[in-house]
């Protein structure tokens, strides 16, 4: 994995916009200083959610980076309202400050000899893979993005990936195309026709297991960004420890520090 940047910053950003993407997800865009935008795809920030009447989040919330643009001074997060912290984030209005810590964690790696890349994610998992898609585009890689959701109207980032030159394949529950059997058939077809050098995914247990099986079958490398509850986000509290496979047996690693990106075959299902 790509090492975390040497410097971590705590700083105040200013909200540019905080708008709905669909019925479930919102896009938070921040004006951010240049020093915190030296990021690697797959890293995250720890956000200090605001305290509002009836909403009093105690801990910071880890949030995958959806976009970082040093040339514009922007930092972006795509999130779903799932609890007190994200409900509080949703109340932020343009012009308000937001305290952030980061960039944190280990990011994705794109080896020079990997040309044909496959991204597979569902729902907000696509947020974590968006910066990876941009980096792949900058490096002239061939990219296929399989985007999964409950229904077509819930699909996200399709236009963004398409603008980066990616081959887009959409699958949904409502169209009965998102099942593992169909996904396996799709990916086997891509391997047979164009070849795949690396798999990338995020968050989903069933997608992890599918890509592990295909990776082992065809000797294809891969990486996964894992989601985990965190307290400090800095590796001290041990709250986010998970089990991983290693050549010597089961080992335990901190998602916030040794991750959140890990080798695909090392990750264990949950």
3-state secondary structure of 66: coil
Do the beta carbons of residue 232 and residue 206 sit within 8 Å?
Answer: no
Structure tokens at 12: 């105040």
3-state secondary structure of 46: strand
Please give the Cα distance from 111 to 150 (Å, whole number): 33
Residue 237 is assigned to a ligand binding site: yes
- Cα-Cα-Cα-Cα torsion 124, 146, 45, 74, nearest 10 degrees, comes to -100
Do the beta carbons of residue 212 and residue 265 sit within 8 Å?
Answer: yes
CA proximity to 150, closest of 134, 170, 166: 170
Residue 232 is assigned to a ligand binding site: yes
Q: Are strands 44-47 and 61-64 parallel, antiparallel or unpaired?
A: antiparallel
Please give the Cα distance from 132 to 155 (Å, whole number): 18
Residue 239 is assigned to a ligand binding site: no
Do the beta carbons of residue 193 and residue 112 sit within 8 Å?
Answer: no
Residue 240 is assigned to a ligand binding site: yes
Which residue matches tokens 């690396």?
198
Structure tokens at 214: 């295909």
Residue 86 is assigned to a ligand binding site: yes
Please give the Cα distance from 135 to 141 (Å, whole number): 9
Structure tokens at 120: 């597979």
Residue 64 is assigned to a ligand binding site: yes
CA proximity to 242, closest of 258, 225, 254: 254
Residue 202 is assigned to a ligand binding site: no
Binding-site residues: 61-64, 85-86, 232, 237, 240, 256
Binding-site residues for FAD: 61-64, 85-86
Binding-site residues for [2Fe-2S] cluster: 232, 237, 240, 256
């Amino acid at each position: 994995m790509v090492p975390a940047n040497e410097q971590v910053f705590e700083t105040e950003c200013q909200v540019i916009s905080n708008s709905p993407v669909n019925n479930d997800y919102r896009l938070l865009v921040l004006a951010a200083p240049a020093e915190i935008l030296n990021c690697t795809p797959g890293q995250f920030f720890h956000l200090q959610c605001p305290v509002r009447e009836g909403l009093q989040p105690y801990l910071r919330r880890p949030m995958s980076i959806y976009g970082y643009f040093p040339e514009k001074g922007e930092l972006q997060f795509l999130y779903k309202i799932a609890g007190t912290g994200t409900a509080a984030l949703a109340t932020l209005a343009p012009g308000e400050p937001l305290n952030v810590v980061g960039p944190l964690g280990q990011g994705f790696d794109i080896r020079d000899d990997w040309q044909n890349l496959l991204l597979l994610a569902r729902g907000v998992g696509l947020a974590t893979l968006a910066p990876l898609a941009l980096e792949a585009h900058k490096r002239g890689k061939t990219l296929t993005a399989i985007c999964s959701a409950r229904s077509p109207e819930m699909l996200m980032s399709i236009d963004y990936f398409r603008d980066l030159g990616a081959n887009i394949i959409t699958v949904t529950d409502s169209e009965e195309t998102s099942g593992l059997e169909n996904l396996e058939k799709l990916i086997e077809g891509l391997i047979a026709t164009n070849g795949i050098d690396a798999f990338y995914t995020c968050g989903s247990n069933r997608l992890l297991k599918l890509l592990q099986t295909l990776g082992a079958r065809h000797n294809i490398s891969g990486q996964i960004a894992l989601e985990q509850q965190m307290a400090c986000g800095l590796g001290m509290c041990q709250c986010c420890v998970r089990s991983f496979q290693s050549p010597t047996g089961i080992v335990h690693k901190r998602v916030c520090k040794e991750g959140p990106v890990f080798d695909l075959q090392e990750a264990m299902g949950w």
